[in-house]
Structure 1
Amino acid sequence: MSRQAQGAILLTLGATLLSISAFSTTYVNYVKPGFRPLLMGAGAVLTVLGLLSVVADLLNRPSTHDHGPRVAWLLTAPVFALVLIAPPALGAFAARRTDGPPAPSRTATYSALAQSEVTELTLGEFIGRAYAPSDPSLAGRKVRLIGFAVPGEGGRGWYLTRMHIRCCAADAFALEVAVHGAPAPAEDSWVAVTGTWMPWRDGVPDGYGAPDFTATDVTGIEQPAEPYE
């Protein structure tokens, strides 16, 4: 592969990284928001290296060219797939195929909930509070949760779900709350659900189980700017 071709590949990679991080928020479908500066920096470095390689080849073309294996061009295949297809954030398909999160800590402490008619919580905090044996903060409190709909197995009920990532989409797992009292929205549709926690019938379980939630209102919403927790 010639130096000019190598430079073209670097330019393509760099421009793609910049396009999804510096000029759009597409990158949050794959990594946490905190990685944006790193993606922008990597894109800028690759772009500069690509330009230098192309310019150097134009200014000092060798008499013979080493074209190298054409298979090297396959490096650009994931880039074009990202640009042309733009895979969305993980949804119901991925949620069904994760093993679920580890059992939440039973020693976690939370601050008192605000004294408002409806309190908005993340799914992670809601589940954590539901698992805290000494924290009755959810009892009788009306809360609002946001996530996407995942039908239960065999069409029995549905789950309000949000994918949690530590670093990137590769390590994602599903946070789920079993919703009762409201018909299931379309699969993968984003909704805001208002309702109350249903306390555990037999006490806090040893392993992980989706807490039950009685819904009084389900409203369709747009996908949040940051789809993961």
Structure 2
Amino acid sequence: MKRNLQAVLLLLTGVAVLRAALFDDLALRYVKEGLLPFLVIAGLVLVGAGLLGVVRDGLPFARRQRTQSDPEPDPASDPPNDGHDHSHGPRVAWLLLPPALALLFFAPPALGSYTAARDSPKVVADYDRFEPLPAHGPAPLSLTEFIGRAQQDDKESLKGRTVLMSGFVSPGKGGTWQLTRLLVACCAADSQSLTVTVHGAKAPPADTWVKLTGTWHPKGTLGTSSAALALDVDSLERIPEPPSPYLDRAPVP
């Protein structure tokens, strides 16, 4: 690969990274929000390196003009020809092209049910205390808090309470389905899943985002590790995928 083509590839990759990080929510499908400044810096470095290479080596048309106007080389001063073309860089640089084009034109979606089925379950950290639930109406909870309350709250605050949660649909076992969230520590590569089994409602298509209300499915003992991570559904509503799909937020009522 000629050096000017390498520079164009660097420039294209940098533009793709900046487009994902600055102009929409694409980057949040792959990394946490806190890493966006680093993506912007990386994109600017790539764009700068690409522009520097283009300016240094010139565009193909300009290079052809320079070659035609250059004086004939002195054969005696040429280095020995070993039969190999040294004007090409490593062909592995072409591997930059597919991800750059994907980010520009065919951005992959956020991780979903396929990943959740093969992910490690997320272990919820121990809670020191639980805030009182609202006195009236469905209590908006993240999946993290629902799981924590079900298995750690010895005051059984979930008993008989209607809760409101959101996530995407993933297939479960024995004909059931699960309300799921994927959490990441850094990027999509280290994702872990949170799942709550859903009873009493027909499963929407996998990867559909839903908001549902329901009550804890009575199995096991609330406040202990035997408590079922499950919900009996009262109502279900399909919702758009949130801009930050890896943040486990309680839904707005």
TM-score by length of 2: 0.79
Shift of 1:9: 1.7
Hey, what's the Cα distance between the residues in 2 that align with 1:72 and 1:106? Answer: 47
Q: Deviation string for 1:52-96 (max 9, x for gaps)?
A: 121122299697972223332223222223334311111111111
SS in 2 for 1:149: strand
Does 2:235 match 1:217? yes
Is contact 1:140–1:197 with CA below 8 Å preserved after alignment? Answer: yes
Does 2:208 match 1:189? yes
Shift of 1:162: 1.0
The within-5 A match list for 1:39-54 is: 39-54=39-54
Letter in 2 for 1:162: R
Shift of 1:33: 1.4
What is the aligned length?
225
Cα distance 1:35–1:106, how it changes in 2: closer, same or farther (>3 A)?
Answer: closer
Residue 141 of structure 1 corresponds to 161
Residue 66 of structure 1 corresponds to 87
Cα distance 1:5–1:89, how it changes in 2: closer, same or farther (>3 A)?
Answer: same
Letter in 1 for 2:25: T
Hey, what's the Cα distance between the residues in 1 that align with 2:146 and 2:181? Answer: 12
Worse-superposed segment, 109-118 or 32-41: 109-118
Residue 158 of structure 1 corresponds to 177
Letter in 1 for 2:27: Y
Hey, what's the Cα distance between the residues in 1 that align with 2:125 and 2:55? Answer: 57
SS in 2 for 1:153: coil
Is contact 2:196–2:229 with CA below 8 Å preserved after alignment? Answer: yes
RMSD after superposition: 2.5
Hey, what's the Cα distance between the residues in 2 that align with 1:210 and 1:149? Answer: 18
The alignment-based identity, stated in percent, is 43
Hey, what's the Cα distance between the residues in 2 that align with 1:96 and 1:30? Answer: 18
Shift of 1:210: 5.9
Gaps spanning 5+ residues in structure 1: where? none
Cα distance 1:18–1:106, how it changes in 2: closer, same or farther (>3 A)?
Answer: closer
Letter in 2 for 1:77: P
Is contact 2:32–2:186 with CA below 8 Å preserved after alignment? Answer: yes
SS in 1 for 2:16: helix
Residue 30 of structure 1 corresponds to 30
Instruction: Return the index of the structure with the highest Cα Rg.
Output: 2
Cα distance 1:72–1:106, how it changes in 2: closer, same or farther (>3 A)?
Answer: closer
Hey, what's the Cα distance between the residues in 2 that align with 1:152 and 1:24? Answer: 33
Letter in 2 for 1:142: T
The within-5 A match list for 1:50-129 is: 50-58=50-58, 66-102=87-123, 104-129=124-149
SS in 2 for 1:150: strand
Letter in 1 for 2:196: V
Letter in 2 for 1:70: R
Hey, what's the Cα distance between the residues in 2 that align with 1:130 and 1:157? Answer: 19
Hey, what's the Cα distance between the residues in 2 that align with 1:110 and 1:49? Answer: 52
TM-score by length of 1: 0.87
Hey, what's the Cα distance between the residues in 2 that align with 1:15 and 1:221? Answer: 31
Is contact 1:105–1:132 with CA below 8 Å preserved after alignment? Answer: no
Q: Deviation string for 1:173-200 (max 9, x for gaps)?
A: 1110011122212221111010112355
